[in-house]
Chains A and B, each alone.
Chain A
Amino acid sequence: MNVIVGRYINRNSWVHRLDPRMKILSLIILMIGTFMTSTLINMLWILAGVFLLILTSKISLLNFIKSLVPLLFLMTFTFVFQVLFNKQGPIISTLTLNLSFITILLNVVVIIGYQILKRFRIRGFFWFLLTFAFIIYLYTLNLGTPFKIINLNLYRDGLTFGLFLLVRIIILVSASSLLTLTTKPADLNNGLERLMKPLKVLKVPVDEMSMMISIALRFIPTLLDEVNKIMKAQASRGVDFASGNIKKKVVQIVSLLVPMFVISFKRADDLSNAMEARGYFPGMERSKFGILKFRFSDYLTILFSISFLVGIVYFDL
């Protein structure tokens, strides 16, 4: 449930107390900053800064690592791609790979072993990496008579640029996580609404969009509850949601989707009646109860964020 409803963690830290508008703006500035930085050293400095923010937000580092896990593949791919194909700068080291029948045979054995272990639920990304590294290691050994020798050159720029991209991804993900972890979804929505307000001039229905988002956020737990109930009801009619072939899967999904549609429409109908009865109609003039007020720390933050950006531009030139 936490995944969708925002992953807000309630703590009392200065980051939590900041005005949501300020946090959103600062995040945008930080993002621009990382794209204007061109050296690995500067990027690492920014990472250190983000790390400091995370430490003072009183939220466990584990939450940030969790948010990076889904991107593990992308990060590895970016890094390996750079290392293999970026051929600029001096060569740092060379990896000599010997292809011989013995190594290929061993390679096959390792892959089969990996597949067998996988059946016993020993799997995961780190296992895959380990196996991959082991295979590469096999080729560096001089076993048997090699019929081909490949020299893999490791270039300095490839390595630094790979790392550079890696750090950039980490910064972007953990900084956005910091925003969602320290701001209630409702506040976030509120902040976004205020920031987008100028767009009203361009006839963008900012208020209605924000009302939609806030109602969606409000009903997600209710509807998830409902999904759970329907799943149980269908399960007791013999639907096994855990297994089944494609034909059965289709039936399972239909048996869940149709009731969910019916329920959602009923709720939407009731809700729109209730909202209208309480005097709401889209596009109307409304006052705003949740007033956001900038405090001293907010001004300080935005000042810091701007000077940070200026600093980046200055030092990077």
Chain B
Amino acid sequence: MGIEFENVNYKYDKRNAKYAIKNIDLKIDSLNEFICLVGHTGSGKSTLIQHMNGLILANSGIVKVSGSDVKKTRNINSVRRKVGMVFQFPEYQLFEETVEKDIIFGPTNFGVSKKEAILKAKEVAKLVGLEQTILEKSPFNLSGGEMRRVAIAGVLAMEPDILILDEPTVGLDPKGQREMMELFKKIHQTTKKTIIVVTHDMDVVSEYSTRVIVMKEAEKKFDGLARDLFLDQKLLEELNLKKPTYIKIAEKINKKLNRNYQIGCLSLAELIKEIVKGE
């Protein structure tokens, strides 16, 4: 069923002419999508994802989650449970005495029994790569990367249909960033759940996404495949976006050595294949 937007508009200040999001039409399936949401600071990305979770209600237009209108639904928690949201620096939302208690906080709020939630906590802790012994520790004694995993586990434990992550790799070192993205890829592959990642990193977009949505000045400017976006020079300039590393490198090699590599290489593997093939 997923998420549907029909002509959604929102302004933070109704007297002001400035839209936060404008005329948004969008359909997101709850299965098999890995969406990267891209756009400069202030382009409306964050407002958009908050609509998916009922944290912001549209001024006009309809937002449907699993077929039911978010504005008309009596129990907003039924929406919030279906769409799991991980904010920027999620480690700051931890507050319980132990990791386990923090992970079961979400599920128990949504009416899951404590016993079931604890079982679930063990499962998601394993999924995000935390050791079982950590469950009894205080979340405040963990490293930054571990805390972030605990916070993500807490959202996963709610068993949402769709997982939204707002810049999940900010503040991590390159190794941590890669591990984090690989984690989402793994979750996506094992559960088939749709994942939406807000990011500024074009390399993440090119390597992981099955679909890219670009926001600019409150409007949706692109919705499609990464390859189509990155090969459209004019569009990239208009949206003020950079190309991913390996496309840039392929172009440079072509220019410097006068070669004819295909420039649509979205990852290292693709570029290597292209180079080796050319022999």
Q: Report A-B touching, CB under 8 Å.
A: yes
- Residues of chain A touching chain B, judged by Cβ–Cβ distance below 8 Å, are 229-230, 232-240, 254-255, 257-259, 262-263
Do B50 and A238 touch across chains, with their CB atoms under 8 A apart? no
Further contacts, 7 of them, CB under 8 A, given A229-B88, A232-B55: A233-B92, A235-B80, A236-B85, A254-B95, A255-B95, A258-B95, A262-B140
Q: Which of B28-36, B103-111, B241-249, B269-277 contacts A (4 or more CB under 8 A)?
A: B103-111
Judge whether B48 is part of the interface by a CB distance below 8 angstroms: no
Asked if A236 meets B109 with Cβ closer than 8 Å, knowing A229-B87, A259-B92, A262-B92, the reply is no
Do A233 and B90 touch across chains, with their CB atoms under 8 A apart? yes
* Residues in chain A near residue B106, CB distance under 8 A: 237-238
CA of A259 to CA of B91, assembled, Å: 9
CA of A239 to CA of B110, assembled, Å: 9
Sampled A-B contacts (14; CB under 8 Å): A232-B50, A233-B90, A233-B93, A236-B53, A236-B83, A236-B84, A236-B85, A237-B105, A238-B106, A238-B109, A240-B77, A255-B95, A255-B105, A262-B92
Q: Shortest 5 CB-CB distances between A and B: which pairs?
A: A238-B109, A258-B95, A237-B106, A233-B93, A236-B85
* Residues in chain B near residue A233, CB distance under 8 A: 85, 87, 90, 92-93
Judge whether B158 is part of the interface by a CB distance below 8 angstroms: yes
Do B93 and A259 touch across chains, with their CB atoms under 8 A apart? yes
* Residues in chain A near residue B155, CB distance under 8 A: 236-237
CA of A233 to CA of B94, assembled, Å: 10
Closest A residue by C-beta to B93: A233
The 8 Å CB contact of A230, one of B55, B80, B83, B93, is B93
How extensive is the interface on chain B, given as a class?
20 to 34
Judge whether B81 is part of the interface by a CB distance below 8 angstroms: yes
Asked if A237 meets B140 with Cβ closer than 8 Å, knowing A255-B95, A259-B95, A263-B92, the reply is no
Closest A residue by C-beta to B111: A238
Asked if A237 meets B87 with Cβ closer than 8 Å, knowing A230-B92, A255-B95, A259-B95, the reply is no
Judge whether B39 is part of the interface by a CB distance below 8 angstroms: no
| Smallest CB separation, A24 vs chain B (Å) | 34
CA of A236 to CA of B77, assembled, Å: 8
Do A236 and B80 touch across chains, with their CB atoms under 8 A apart? yes
Judge whether B168 is part of the interface by a CB distance below 8 angstroms: no
| Smallest CB separation, A228 vs chain B (Å) | 10
* Residues in chain B near residue A238, CB distance under 8 A: 77, 80-81, 106, 109-110, 158
Closest B residue by C-beta to A235: B55
* A-contacting residues, B144-158, CB 8 Å: 154-155, 158
| Smallest CB separation, A128 vs chain B (Å) | 31
CA of A239 to CA of B106, assembled, Å: 8
Closest B residue by C-beta to A258: B95
Do B77 and A234 touch across chains, with their CB atoms under 8 A apart? no
CA of A263 to CA of B87, assembled, Å: 15
| Smallest CB separation, B269 vs chain A (Å) | 36
| Smallest CB separation, A243 vs chain B (Å) | 11
* Residues in chain B near residue A240, CB distance under 8 A: 76-77
